[in-house]
Structure formats: structure tokens, C-alpha cells
Structure 1
């Protein structure tokens, strides 16, 4: 009861200092009545299912209890019927905070200014702890305190120094414990997520195995590719040397090519005009190329038969060459008489080329003169005549014939 009274006095003093701040908050707020507000302060944290969801806006006395007003963030408003607010330690030592477990989502919404159900652990007093000890235990504790007093006699300065030096360590320990208390819900959520992740991995063990096998195969392929890359890099210096040699010869080639390109420039400048003139020709050739289909088909058949023809000709041509070689002397002998033979054939055709209703007939003319005496008296020549039984071809008209080599008749 003494603790409750002290808590009420503190709550009244704090409420007087924070009333102005609470009056200006017009957001979503709810109230909760607790047996006491020990270690609760305005501005303290309010959690909803482990997430920071608001702050303590105000603490006021209410018939021997503490009415705590909670200002909720917009994303956690409104709360639902069945929501319960519980006071829990922010850390092992130090201030406390309010944790809210919201009601079902389909429950009725609690309006702003509504009341939540409150729950708070009963504070434990020192005399209650001592009263819980039996008589032998209290005697042993008393003996321990006397022994401790005897141990500390004369060592008060050392103890003070020890406590003074251990202050930062205890403060750091308090911060660690406070951090653990603050992050407790987050650690709990992390453990839940890890458990869900482990369950998911267990359900998909086969897929995880396939992924691991795939990664192993990929690693082997990467190792093989790395080995090939190393081989390529070993060959690279030689390739670079050859490329450098080629590039060193390139300027000379370019120098020789530039005059050629300059000489070709007039011709290339006329190419557009030539192409323009070729356009009508190509347009006229288009129907012709369409008609070449049968010809190409026939040529294909001919080309298929050509190998056999060439094989047959290969056997005949040697004999034909031999026959031509054998006939060549006779042809060379008869060649000087070609004009006479042509004249004979012409005269024969002229004489026997006449027709009448009874059939073909020959027209002949008999010429008489001094030369005809030879037919009557062989060996007797008229005056101014001479006999040449072997005239050369062309000699009668003053054009003696010679062959291609300049030789006469043989």
C-alpha cells in the first residue's frame, strides 16, 4: 500500500507537467486503467504485437488507480474489441512500457477515447520477499550480513573505489539489458521467421539439393572455362606480336592504296550514272530471265549427258587424229588443183543444170579456131601458138598459184 501511495503522488506530479502536451493531441487515443503507473512516463513507448505503435500521452490518478492515455499511430488505428494493454519492462532495470495485444480483426472497432482492458503484474516489495523466507533462512541471511560487515570493516575506501570504477560497467550492462528488453519482440519475431524459413527449407529439401547440385556443376564448368581461358591467355602474347607486325606493315599498304583510290575516284564518280543507265536494261532482262527456265532445264540434261559424250570422244579422237594425219599428204597434194576442181564442178553444174519437160539435158558449144588443128594433126602447132601439157593452176590468167609456204605445184 505504501508503494501505491508513492506511485500516486508521482503520477499526480508528472501529470501536472504533461497536461499541456496531452491537450494538444487530437489523434486516435485510448485509455487504460492500471493498478499503478510505476516506472511509466509520458512519452514512453507503446507496442502493438511487438511493433512500436505510439506513445504514452498522459498519466492521471483515477480513484486510487492510474489512468494512462495512449496516443496511437495512424497505421495501427483503430484497435478492436478484445484488445488488452499490459505493462512490461522496457529492460531488466529501468522504465516500463505498454504492450497491446489487439482483438480480432472482425471485432468491433474501439473509437478514439475508448477504454482498453488493462493488466499489470503485482509489484513485489522487499518486505514481501523477506516475509516469504522461513526462520532458518532468515538466520543464515543475518549471519551472512554480519560476516559481510566484518569483511568490509577497514576496506570501505577500496569498496568505494571498486563501486566507482564498476559504475560504467554496470551502466553498460544496464544498456545491454535495456537493449535486450527493447528488442525482445523483434528477437522473438526473428526467431519465428527463422523457424518458418527452416520449415520451408525442410519442405523443399529436394529443390535445395537440385540447386546445390546445379551450383556444383556450374562450378565445374567455371573451372573448365577458367582453364581454357588460361590457355588462351598463354597464346595471347604470340597473337599480339603477330598483330603488331601486321599493324607495322599496314601504313605502307595504306600509302600504296591511297594513290590507287585517288585514281579510281573518277571512275567511281561515274558509277551512279552507269547504274542509272543499267536500270532499264535490267528491267528488260527480267522477262528474259523468266523465259530461261526451259533452256536451263535442257542445259541441265545436256550437262548430265556430257560426261558420257566426253568419255566416248576420248576413245574416238586419237583414231580421228591418226586418220587426219594419214590424209594430210593427199590433201597437201590436191590443194594446188583446188581452183581447177572448183571450175570443173562449176562448169559441170552449168552444163547439166538445164531442165525441160522431158527431163535434164546438156547444152554444149563447139568452138573452132587455130587451136583445133591440134586435134586433127597432133604435134602440129599453128603460128604464134605453143603447147603446155602441164600448166600450173592459175597460169592461164597470169596468177600462178603458190601454197602458204610460197612453194609452187609439186
Structure 2
């Protein structure tokens, strides 16, 4: 009983699945393509392959603000799946029929990958015919004027060419006979002729797709030829003079060989200098830029100096008289500054200590920090002993006159050239005592 119930359930599920699948698949497949123009197309228009209807246009929607149109294409199972490379062409139903259109379907190479259902067909694979109004629009007023001029000039041209045309017509029968044989050969193999025409159509379509400006190119070429024809007299004179010009050019070029050899040698000699010039170009460019920037200030300074010349003359006269003395002072000052330079730490610390002395804090304590010094006791003003005697009486006392640089830090730096030696820290060699 349980096995029978299971079989029934499986059968019911299979029927339901079959109904769902068959309800979803109506045997139709959709594609879409976007083209620039699809005149006289309507929803429901036929898609034919080999003369048999295999689908229809399912939708027509404008895109890109009406500049293009998106066609929905619905196809039957009879041609599905479509191989990649399938092409479509919008065609007229007859030679004198412009409103009844259909889409001719040309299947791609058998075995090519299939096109997916719902995919977009490349625009290049969908061809639309040239409309009559589009063809007529090419005859602009300027084109019509040029065409009229060509017809007017054709009469005079044919009149001048009449003798030659007469002779050509005399030999035309033989040429037509040969052309007839060629046509017989062409029609003998219809398959080869059909292949040739199809390949020619493919080549023309590729040229049109790759170069949509071919008409502009041909128009420009026509204008160029017109300009050349208008200057035919000058062009003829130029061509007549060309042989003599070329002869002179040949002679000149023969003489130019030696000049070019000398120029090559000169170039080889100049090459190192050019390399160096290239290296200094960037710094020189920076210098020139700086000169340009300071130019206004320099010009203003020179103008101010020009105005101050009358006042500067007496000063320069007096300064000239004082230059020898100023030179001596400079030499002495140089020596003194050389001797003062090692005392830079002591000079800096003097101002720092003096600043701390006048401040209400030294960074650690507030208001006051005292180091009480007890003067030596003396019963009268003039002590009867010198520095050496004081050192003997008070061994903890230090002596230095003048003190050497770094002496305060216990790292004396003696300067013999400035008269600061180890004798200046020996109390027994006190210079004032020797005096």
C-alpha cells in the first residue's frame, strides 16, 4: 500500500512539473537590436529565412531620446538556436513596394557558438536599406549646381572628344564581342558568381562600416583636383623648370658633401660642450628666474642709489681718508674676536644667569634661591699677602686671571695665541704680583 501511494505521488509530481514547464516554454525566443533607423517597421512585421516566416518584431522602442530605435525580435524554435554570426537585413517586399517590409534572416556558420536567449544582436549584424528620401537628400543645392555645371561642360567636352569617340566606336564591336565571352564565362558558373557577388557585398559593407566618412573624403579629393586643374598653367611651368632645378640641386648636393663632413666634425667637437651646457641649463634657468624676480627690486634700489649719490659723495670722501685706520681696526678686531670666540659658552651663560637672577623663579624654586658667601675676615682693608699666600692659607680657594675658556666647567681650553695659558690658573704666577 505504501509503495502504491509513493508511485502515485511521483506520477502526480511529474505531471505537475510537465505542466509548469510546458506552460512556461511557448517555443518562442527573444532577441533585441539597436539601430539608427528602421523606417516603416511595425510590431508584428515578419522575420523570414529562406522564404519561410520564422518570427516577428515583438516591440519597437525609441532610445537615446529618439536618435535610435530598439527592436524586439521574437523567433520560433525552427531556427533556434541561432549561431554566432547570424545577420539580419530589413528588406522591401517588392521593387515598387515601400511600406510592406520584412526582415531577412541569414544564419551564421554552422557549428559556431549559439547566441543566448534574450541577448543583444550587434548593430553591425542588422542592415537597413537606403531610403528614397535619404538618397534625395544627398542632392543638396550645391550638388545640384555642380551637377548642372558638369552637364553643361559635358557638351563642349564631348564635342572636342568626338573624333576620339568615333574611332573608339569603330573598334567597339570587337570589344563588345570579347565582353560577351567574359559574360558567358561569368554566367557559366552561377555558384562562383554568387560567391563573388556576396564577397563583394561583404567588402563594401566592411568599407562602409569602417569608414563612414568616405563621402567626405571623395568630396575633398574632388575639390583638390579642381584646385589642381585651376592651376594647371603654373603646374606646367613648374614641371618644365623641374629638370634644370634637379640638375642644379645635384651639383649643389655634390658640393654639400664636404660641408656636411666639416659640420659633422664640428658637431663631434661641440658634443662635450653641449653635454656640459645641458647640465648647467637647469641651474642657469633657476638663476635667470631669480634675476627676473629680483629685477624690480634691483631697479628700485639702483634708482634710490642714483638719487643718493650727491649725499654719498662727501661720506665716501671722508670714509676714504679713514680706510687705513679702519683697516688696522679690522685686523685687530679680527684677532680679538678670534680670542673671544672660545668664550661663547661663558658669554651665553652670563646672560642666562643674569636673567635667572632678575626672575622670580629659576624653573625649580620661587622668588629666591640664595648661595650665601662669607667673606674672608680681615682686621684691616689692605691684606699684607698676595695670591700665592692666600692659596696657602685657604687651600680650597681657586685662582684664575684671566680664566681660560671652559674653566668654570672644569675643562680648561688654553689659548696660547691669546696669552691664556696654564700660568693664568697658578696663583704663584699672578701677573699683578709680578708687576
TM band (smaller chain): under 0.3
TM-score, L = length of structure 2: 0.25
Radius of gyration: which is bigger? 1
Instruction: Point out which structure has higher relative CO (alpha carbons under 8 A, 6+ apart).
Output: 1
